[in-house]
Amino acid sequence: MWLFAGLGNPGPEYFFTRHNLGWRAVALLAEELKLTFRENPSLEALIAEGKEAVLLLPLTYMNLSGKAVAGATEHYRIPPERVLLVHDDLDLPLGRMKIVPRGGSGGHRGVASVLAMLGTEEIPRLKLGIGRPPSGISVPDYVLSPFRPEEEPVVEKVLELSVAAMRTILREGLPKAMSLYNRRDLLQNEREGAR
């Protein structure tokens, strides 16, 4: 059993922001798997239970994501190495994604909260690139801003690929998903194939 946690902020005003890209990916996976989210007040999260994975969207706001994730790992008895954090990443350009088996927070406060609450860095991640803010725009303002209209086609393709990557993790494991989805040219090849 896996726990897939889409990090982000609750509420419709945040749904389409850059910081909620991981949340959107896990919500889309739930649609694909025909799973329904239900609020679990004790876990402070929206939970969708499947046969192979529990999907989680924290209702704690980004900086306290660890509270919801840690509660769910305890409730479902899922070890940290079977928790996939799906989140936005400033250090990857928009259109890139990267799966890693472990590591530090990279300055991402939601990830830092999860690492602190679970007491380990041995937690897999699916990082979805959002790129760095343009000159003159602060990181908080940038991550809480929506994507520009011209970026949306790339965002949609990344969301599709992230769902495919999560399904690969479920079917064939993390190493296989890493080998398939950690290529720099992945989105470019997808675009060419769609022509």
Q: Looking at the annotation, which residues are catalytic? A: 19
Q: Tell me if 143 sits within 8 A of 19, measured CB to CB.
A: yes
Residues 6+ apart with CB under 8 A from 169: 2, 84, 99, 124, 177
Tallying the residues shown for the chain, one arrives at: 195
Q: What secondary structure does DSSP assign to 104-131, as a single string?
A: --TT-HHHHHHHHHHT-S---EEEEE--
> Exposed, middle or buried, 162 (CB in 10 Å: 0-12/13-18/19+)?
buried
With CA atoms as reference, report the closest residue to 185 among 110, 118, 97, 107. 97
Backbone φ and ψ for 89, nearest 5 degrees, come out as: -140, 120
